[in-house]
């Protein structure tokens, strides 16, 4: 029982050190600086989904100013809007199928699946 307790305490200490290390800025002697990445959760919903003509988005944070890009299954870009202002997107020119909608702004990136049915 003591061995198990010792192993658990050791693993806990290692995990605590790793978490501490992840929160620190790393600077090398060659001028390279690595900043910790803080993940921001933004639940963006695409609706209606499946869709035929226009799609809209709901978000937990303001979604204005993102670059919006729609990719097909093969990873080809089918539509792109830079500095999107929140309006509906016309997807009527897309063929029936499954797509990925990617939102990017700086280091933020979110992806959602979209089904197009004509």
Averaged pLDDT in 10-residue chunks for the chain of 118 residues = 57 48 62 65 81 88 83 92 86 93 87 90
Residue ranges of domains in the chain: 44-116
Provide the pLDDT for residue 85.
Answer: 83
- Token pair 């989904």 is found at 49
What's the CATH class of domain 44-116?
Answer: mainly beta
Residue pair 111/102 in contact (Cβ under 8 Å)? The answer is yes
Run of H or E residues at 12: helix 2-22
- In this structure, the strands spanning 33-34 and 54-59 are unpaired
> What pTM was estimated for this model as a whole?
0.63
């Amino acid at each position: 029982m003591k061995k198990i307790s010792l192993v658990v305490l050791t693993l806990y200490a290692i995990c605590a050190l790793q978490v501490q290390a992840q929160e620190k800025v790393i600077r090398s002697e060659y001028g390279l600086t690595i900043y910790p990445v803080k993940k921001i959760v933004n639940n963006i919903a695409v609706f209606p989904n499946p869709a035929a003509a226009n799609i809209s988005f709901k978000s937990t944070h303001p979604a204005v100013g993102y670059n919006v890009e729609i990719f097909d299954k093969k990873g080809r870009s089918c539509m792109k809007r830079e500095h999107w202002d929140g309006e509906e997107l016309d997807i009527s020119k897309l063929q029936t199928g499954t797509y990925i909608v990617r939102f990017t702004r700086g280091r933020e990136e979110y992806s959602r699946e979209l089904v197009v049915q004509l």
